[in-house]
Amino acid sequence: MGRLTGKVAIITGAGSGMGAEQARLFGKEGAKVVGADMNVEALQKVVDEIKADGGDAIAIKLNISSPEEWENAIHTAVETYGKVNVLVNTAGVAGPFVAKAHEHDPDEWDKLLAINLKGSFLGSKYAIPEMIKDGGGSIVTISSIAATLGGQGGTGYGAAKAGLIGLTKNIAVDYGKDNVRANVILPGQISTPMSASLETEEAKEIKQFYLNKTPLGHFGDPSDIANAALFLASDESNFITGVELPVDGGVMAN
């Protein structure tokens, strides 16, 4: 039996990178996957892969900063599968890696918070009532080590990711009595399309800076985050809520 058999899981950012890897793994572990992304073409390919592998999944186009689109996504999930048990807030965008406060464009700041923080708030807001109806659930939010460490992604990015920790802890306390758990993963540098800018010749020194701070000496793989998310989504973590889990190659141990 799969570790998520019988559960319905909504995963944002499921069209690529960490979200796609989570969607594939959750499908293999028995979850009915509701993949959400703005890039419907890429998302559909992931959904088709899950189905070809014997899983069950649907694709939903979703702008995570829109309350209306979140309401529709939750409605579609419930209409299709009858419930929502798991929400993985993965979708996000990267800001300028070296954006200091006095250099930060206010519009870019607003964009980072609207997507990286508000998106997870809205997903949680609309998923929690459905989880409560089914006796509980698990919310897994993908933040970043930039939430607690400076110099890991730019001021606006770090501020948004730090907000996810506060969001998670408040949900954990407020809804524990309803058996809704909330935990946050803090990835270090992971090799995804979002981090592709670090592979350019211009970013060579920045990449080496991050590698020098990583005790394991290499960037992580999307599967490293997917495996952590699977554990927190599954019943194996039934007594774990409100925690910050670094998956960072040891950066935060420095």
Q: What is the pLDDT of residues 40-57, one digit of tens each?
A: 999 999 999 999 999 999
CATH number of domain containing 131: 3.40.50.720
Mapped onto helix, strand or coil, the DSSP state of residue 82 is coil
Residue 57: how many CB atoms within 10 A of its CB?
25
Residue-number span of the structural domain to which 77 is assigned: 8-243
d(CA 62, CA 45): 16
Q: Is 253 inside a domain boundary?
A: no
Query: What is the DSSP secondary structure assignment for residue 190, as one 8-state letter?
Result: B
pLDDT band of 99, cuts 50, 70, 90: low
Q: Is 147 inside a domain boundary?
A: yes
d(CA 250, CA 252): 6
Is residue 157 part of the annotated active site? The answer reads: yes
Q: Is 109 inside a domain boundary?
A: yes
Number of folded domains that form the chain: 1
Q: What is the pLDDT of residues 103-139, one digit of tens each?
A: 777 888 788 899 999 999 999 999 999 999 999 999 9
Q: Is 2 inside a domain boundary?
A: no
Exactly one of 126, 157, 175, 210 is catalytic; which is it?
157
Q: Is 217 exposed, middle or buried (0-12, 13-18, 19+ CB in 10 A)?
A: exposed
More confident residue, 95 or 103: 103
pLDDT at position 98 over 90: no
Model pLDDT, residue 114: 92
Q: Is 119 inside a domain boundary?
A: yes
Q: What is the pLDDT of residues 169-211, one digit of tens each?
A: 999 999 999 999 999 999 998 987 666 666 676 667 777 888 8
Model pLDDT, residue 6: 97
Q: What is the pLDDT of residues 210-254, one digit of tens each?
A: 888 899 999 999 999 999 999 999 999 999 999 999 999 999 998
**pTM value?**
0.94
Torsion sign over Cα 2, 58, 22, 177? negative
